[in-house]
Structure 1
Amino acid sequence: MTVTATLDLLGLPASRTARRAVAYAVLGVVPALLGVPALALLALGGVLCVTRAGAPVLSLVLTAVRGLTAVHRALLRGLLGEDVPAPPGPAPLRAATDAAAWRCAAYAVLDAPLGVLLLAVQVPVRLYGLVLLSYPVWFGAVRQNGHRGLELTGTVPLDSWPRALAVAAAGLVLLAAAGWAGRRLVALVRLLARTLLAPPPRDLTGRVQDLEETRALAVRDSAATLRRIERDLHDGAQARLIALAMALTRAKEALRAPEPSPADTAKARELVEQSLGTARTALGELRDLVRGIHPPVLDKGLAPALASLRSDMESPSLRVEVRSALAAGPRPPEEVETLAYFCAAELLTNAARHAGADHVTLDVRIEGEARNRVLVLVVEDDGRGGAAPAPAAPGGSSGLRGLSERARTVDGTLSLDSPPGGPTTATVRLPFAPRGETST
C-alpha cells in the first residue's frame, strides 16, 4: 500500500480523488440546500393543482429543478469523475408530465440532507479529528483551572503525556471514521445520481435503433480498417517486395555468365545486400501492420500489454504511470481487451503529441459483479487541456470521436473532462461478460 493510499485510509485526503471528494462536499452543499425551497415550491404547485395554475406552476418549478440538477451533473463530472448524461428535455410547460423531471426533483430533495451530512463529515469532523490528533503538540500552552491542557467533562484534566497521547489516538480514530463515512456517502451520491439523474432505460424500439447505429459504426470501422490495411500493404510491404524482386533479378543477370567478372560479382553482392535491407524493412512493416490489427502481446493479457505500451510511449520528456487492478478480476473477452488497448494507445498518443503533457496516469480496473461487469480505463494527463472530439472526417472517423464510436460497438462510453489549462481526464467504460459466460 502506498503512502498516499495509507493517508487516505487514515482520513487524511492525500490523493487527488480524496481531495476532489472534499471539494465536492464543499461546493455541492449550495445546490444541495436549494433542494429545500424546491420542495416547498413543489408542495405549493401540488396545492395549486386544484386550479388551472397548478400544472404550469409545477412545470416551471420542475424546469428550474432540472437546471439545478445540471449543476449537480457538472460537479459530479468535474470532481467525482461520474459522467451522468442528461435525459431529453420535455416540451415547454410540459415538465409536470415528464417522469425524468420528477426523478430530478426526487434527487434534489434527497440530496439536501445528504449534502449537509457529507459536508459535516468531510470538513468539520475531519478538522476536529486533526485538532485532537495535534493535542500533544499544544496542550502544554493551554491553562484551565490552574493546570495544563483541557478538562474532560470538567473534572478530568488532560494534562499528562499519556492522556494527551490518548486524545491523539482518539483523533486518529475519528479521522479514519470520517474518511470511511465520507467514502460511503460519496458512493451513495454516485448511486443516487446514476439512478435518478440518468436517462431511463431505453424501450425496445430505442434499443433496436441503438443496435442499428452501433452495427453501422462497426461496419464502417471494419471497412476503414480494411482500407487502411490495403493501403499499407500496397504502399509499404508490396512496394518493398517488388523492389526486392527487381534487385534479385538484376543480381541474377549480373551472375548469368559462366565466369562473371569481378565487377559483375561486386555488383551482384551489392544488389544482394540491398535486397537484404529491403526484406528486413518489409518484415518490419508487416510486423507493424499485424501489431495494428491485433497486438501479439495481448495474448498474455491486458495488463502486460499496457505495461509494454507504457515502455514504448515513455521518453525523457514524458513519464507514464500504469495502475492495473485486473489480476483479481475475471479476464474480459478478447474484443474488449483489444478495444481497451487501442483506446489506451490513442489517448496516450494524444497526451504526448497534442497536450504537451509531462506525466500521464493510466488506471485500469474492473467494476461490477456477475454479468454486469465493466472494464474502466482512465487516462489522466497534466497537459494544456482543451481537448474535444473533432468532427468525423468523410469516409471514416478518427481520434477521440473515433474512439467514442468504437466504444459504442460494445455498448461502451467515452467521457472526456478537459478544461482549458488542464488536466485532462478521459474515461472509457466497456461492459462485458467474462470469458466462458453466455447471456441467457
Structure 2
Amino acid sequence: MKITMIGTGYVGLVSGACFADFGHDVVCVDKDAGKIAAIEAGTMPIYEPGLDQLVGTNAAAGRLTFTTDLPEGVKGADAIFIAVGTPSRRGDGHADLSYVYAAAKEIVESLDGPAVIVTKSTVPVGTGDEVERIARELRPDLDIQVVSNPEFLREGAAIGDFKRPDRVVVGTTGSERAISVMSQVYRPLNLNQAPLMFTGRRTAELIKYAANAFLATKITFINEMADLCEAVGAEVQDVSRGIGLDKRIGSKFLHAGPGYGGSCFPKDTLALVKTGQDYDAPIRIVETVVQVNDLRKRAMGRKIVKALGGEARGKTVALLGVTFKPNTDDMRDAPSLAIVQALEDAGAKVVAYDPEGMDVAAPMMPGVTMAGSAYEAASGADALVLVTEWDAFRALDLKRLASSMSAPVLVDLRNIYPVAEAEAAGFTVTRVGGKGSAA
C-alpha cells in the first residue's frame, strides 16, 4: 500500500519508518526543508535507539521517501496519516489543534480521488468530527473517510512498541472502506497476533487520553506513597513490590521518583481535564494528578537543598541525567527543569551530564555547566543527584565519585543504588521513599 505521513516528528518519523519496514511504500511530508534534508543525509531530528538505521535501510530500499511537497506526497495514497504536534495551548491548557486542522485542509485541497485520512496525532474527543466537516465543506465531491488511530509509543522503545504493540486502536464511523484500508495497513502485524481493535471514532480518541491519564495517576500515586513512607519510616520500594505483585494492579509505573514529564503525560492529562470541564464531566482524580505532579518537581529541588544541610548558596550540585526519561533526548516538561530552577533560586551552581540530552537541554538551562562525563560533573561538587535512570548510571564507581567531591552527598531520586553500598563508598545518602531494607 502507499502511505503518506504528514509530519516527521517523533510519531510521524517512527511510524513512517516502521510502515516502510513492513513493506509499504511510505512518503513522509514536512514543511521544514532543513529537517527533510537532514533526515535524507542520515541525521535524525530526535534520538530514538535504532531509528537512524531503520530510516536508512528503508530509504536505501526505496520504500521510504521524504518531501516538502504535500500535494505531490498525497497523490495516490491509500491512507494519509496526520502526525503533527498538538501542544498545550497557551493560556487555557487545551490541546492546540491548529496544526492538525491546517494539515487536514491542505490534504483535502490536494486530493484527486477518494481517501482515508487518519489522525495519528493525540487529539481530544471530537477532533475527527471537525476534520470530517473540513473535508465535506471543501470537497463534497469526494468520498473522504476520517479515522482515528492513536499512537501508544514509549520514547526509547518506540520501534519495538510499533512492531509488537499491545493493541492497535482504530476509530471509524463504520465505513467498510475505512475498515478495509486500515486492516490492510496493519496486516503485517497479524503474524505477531497484535489485537486490532475497531471502535467508534470518538471512543478511539478518548482511549489514548484515558490510557495516559491512568498511567500518570499510577506514577503520582506511588510518589505520594513515597512521601508517606518517608514520614512514617516505611520503605516505598517494598510497598511498590507488595502492591505490584497483585495482578489486578501490576508492577509497571509504580517506581517512585521526581514526577513524570515528557511529550505525552503532561499535555494529555491537562487536555483530558479541559475536555471533562467542557462537557460538564469533571475528572477530579486527573485534576489532582496534574497539580500534585507539578508541585512534586519543585519539591525535589527543596529535597536536594535539605540534603545539603538546608543551605545551597555558593555550593555546587551535580545532576546526572536531564532528560525526562532514559533513551531519549526529550526535555519537554522534564523534572530536571524545575529542579535546576529551584537550585538556582537557592543560590546553587549546577553542573550536569546526560548521555544524549545535553544539546537539547543547554539552551533551556543557560546557567548550567554541561560536563563531559558523570565523573567530570561530580568533581568538586557538594552533592550528586541522580535524576534520570540511564543505564550508564547504574554501575558507576561510587568510591571514585565520592573521593572526587567536596562533600560526598548522594541524592538518589530514582533509588538506583542500595543505601549500604553507597554509604560504604563514603556517601551520605538521601533517596525517595525511605531507607529500608529494599534500598
Higher helix share: 1
TM-score normalised by length of structure 2:
0.24
Rg larger for: 1
